[in-house]
């Protein structure tokens, strides 16, 4: 697996890069797979592909704090990202892993790898709901996926030193909740891993066996997607 350690300046650019990596792998010959690690330098509220901004995000609070609201191309609910939240993205090949065409198998496969990486540092980790990772019943990782014909993008959050009160300030109670949440507030529901981020990065790289550095990432396509899609009001708020 190839490894890309690349964080861009804005949340929109970083979401664009994830999609550009998926597109690039989709048209490449063979069974290209990539692990990317990044951490947004700015706080941002990130909507799922089908999320309604007003239902899930406190837009007034985000505006008053200068926190951008952007939409990713994958599904799931809204999250808040920024310093203290490590982001991972994996582009996986159906040619190499045909079983991942089944969505449930894809969730299970990726989350087992990530759980193993985290578990090496903090002890027992659980897979909860459809695509959450938890410790002692509290969520530290939310995840989502986007499928194309030959490749799969799976990406998610890993809270390790995040100001958790920001989640409560920026997000409403989600309209769709997993049963295990038991109607808990954000403050009662989420937690930080409280591990050094360098150790977390190293463990993820080890578990994914991402030994080949990727230098030639899709710069031009990332710029195009940022301008044409991820910074456009219609894309971010047109639901």
Domain spans of the chain, in order of start: 2-237
The token pair that represents 114 in the structure block: 């990530």
Residue 33: which pLDDT band, with cuts at 50, 70 and 90? very high
Share of the chain above pLDDT 90, in %: 95
State the pLDDT at residue 142: 96
Which of the two residues, 202 and 174, has the higher pLDDT score?
202
Residue 30: which pLDDT band, with cuts at 50, 70 and 90? confident
Torsional sign, CA 58, 63, 67, 68: positive
What is the Cα–Cα distance from 208 to 138, expressed in whole angstroms? 25
What is the Cα–Cα distance from 25 to 21, expressed in whole angstroms? 6
pLDDT at 158 over 80: yes
Angle between helices 197-208 and 103-122 (to 10 degrees): 130
Dump pLDDT digits (tens) for 98-115.
999 999 999 999 999 999
pLDDT at 28 over 90: no
Measure the CA angle with vertex 148, ends 177 and 139; round to 5°.
25
pLDDT at 237 over 80: yes
Which residues touch 32 (CB under 8 Å, ≥6 apart)? 2, 24, 25, 91, 93, 151
State the pLDDT at residue 238: 86
Mean pLDDT, range 123-140, rounded to an integer: 95
State the pLDDT at residue 83: 98
pLDDT at 60 over 90: yes
To the question of domain 2-237 being in CATH 3.30.930.10, the answer is yes
Mean pLDDT, range 197-207, rounded to an integer: 98
- How much is the pTM? 0.94
Mean pLDDT, range 146-175, rounded to an integer: 96
Do residues 192 and 140 touch, judged by C-beta distance below 8 A?
A: yes
pLDDT at 154 over 80: yes
pLDDT at 90 over 90: yes
Beta bridge mates, 89: 36, 155
State the pLDDT at residue 181: 95
pLDDT at 239 over 90: no
């Amino acid at each position: 697996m190839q490894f890309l350690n690349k964080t861009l300046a804005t949340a929109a650019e970083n979401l664009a890069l994830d999609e550009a990596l998926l597109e690039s792998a989709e048209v490449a010959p063979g069974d290209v797979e990539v692990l990317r690690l990044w951490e947004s330098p700015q706080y941002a509220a990130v909507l799922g592909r089908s999320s309604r901004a007003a239902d899930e995000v406190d837009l007034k609070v985000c505006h008053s704090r200068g926190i951008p609201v952007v939409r990713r191309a994958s599904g799931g609910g809204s999250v808040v990202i920024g310093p203290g939240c490590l982001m991972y993205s994996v582009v996986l090949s159906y040619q190499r892993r045909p079983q991942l065409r089944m969505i449930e198998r894809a969730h299970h496969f990726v989350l087992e790898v990530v759980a193993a990486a985290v578990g090496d540092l903090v002890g027992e980790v659980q897979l909860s709901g459809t695509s959450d990772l938890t410790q002692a019943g509290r969520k530290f990782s939310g995840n989502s996926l986007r499928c194309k014909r030959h490749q799969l993008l799976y990406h998610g959050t890993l809270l390790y030193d995040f100001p958790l009160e920001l989640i409560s300030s920026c997000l409403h109670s989600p309209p769709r909740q997993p049963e295990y949440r038991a109607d808990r507030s954000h403050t009662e529901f989420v937690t930080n891993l409280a591990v050094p981020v360098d150790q977390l990065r190293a463990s993820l790289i080890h578990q994914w066996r991402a030994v080949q550095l990727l230098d030639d990432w899709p710069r031009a396509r990332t710029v195009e997607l940022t301008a044409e899609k991820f910074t456009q009001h219609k894309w971010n708020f047109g639901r």
